[in-house]
Amino acid sequence: MLLKPKKLYKYLTAEGATNFFSSPTPAVWFRLSNRLNDIYDIRPVGSYLDGFGAVASFCLSEVPDSAPMWAHYGSNGQGVVLEFSLPSKFFEDFPPMKVHYRSKRPTVRHPREALITKNSEWAYEREWRCLTSLPRPGEDKHQFLSSEQVVSVPFPFDALSAVIHGYDSHVSAEKFLTRPEASHVKERVCRPRAGDYGLNICDINDVRHILEERAAAAWGRRQGST
């Protein structure tokens, strides 16, 4: 049995985060396959170009502290990450599925595999995805935005547990976090570690990184003098 993580994370660019936090009606966007950054994603061997065109996905990651993910999807640390808790109605309605990474493309004989299989070169994303289809005519909550090729779903505030700022972010979430629906949401920051290549997720007011940087700098200077 596949154990789902307790948290999943959505990386946003600086521009995307700014637009999201300032929106009076924030939403989750499920993107159609023609707007995904992998040209083979949800396009199995033997399918027509639009064979899976009605399937839209909301892509998340298992980790909030991946340097490549921050570089590729978080504007090189200038964006933010949204932290979601899985026990929520949103993830009951849209159960996340783990993406598998393979060197061989799936075929139309295995449509479910086609929805959750990607090239092994993308394995660093550690992706889980939620899926939906195009909304039916007259459906109020879900909207298809043709200009963006996305299905827009009202934002699940109850599922959001934290906003994590990038290590070089200047995006303000203040207005967003003062909303009554976001009163439970914590504000954190992703900071580079002082002594190795890793990243730490800290509370926004945690100043221990300053002491760690001083200690690491002093240690480095001692190494250079020996």
Q: Which pLDDT value is given to residue 210?
A: 52
User: Taking 80 as the threshold, does the pLDDT of residue 58 lie above it?
Assistant: yes
41-67 average pLDDT score: 89
156-178 average pLDDT score: 96
User: Taking 60 as the threshold, does the pLDDT of residue 59 lie above it?
Assistant: yes
> Where along the chain do its domains lie?
7-224
pLDDT (tens digit, 9 = 90+) per residue, 8-34? 999 999 999 999 999 999 999 999 988
Q: Compare 137 and 16 and report the one with higher pLDDT.
A: 16
When mean pLDDT is compared across 34-38, 47-51, 128-132, 166-170, the lowest value belongs to 47-51
How many CA within 13 A on the CB side of residue 28? Answer: 26
Q: Which of 17-31, 46-60, 211-225 has the highest mean pLDDT?
A: 17-31
DSSP state, residue 122: G
Could you report how far apart the first and last alpha carbons of the chain are, in Å? 53
How far is Cα 35 from Cα 46, in angstroms, rounded to an integer? Answer: 20
How far is Cα 162 from Cα 189, in angstroms, rounded to an integer? Answer: 10
How far is Cα 138 from Cα 189, in angstroms, rounded to an integer? Answer: 41
202 membership: H or E segment, kind and range: strand 199-203
Count of Cβ atoms closer than 10 Å to residue 61 Cβ: 21
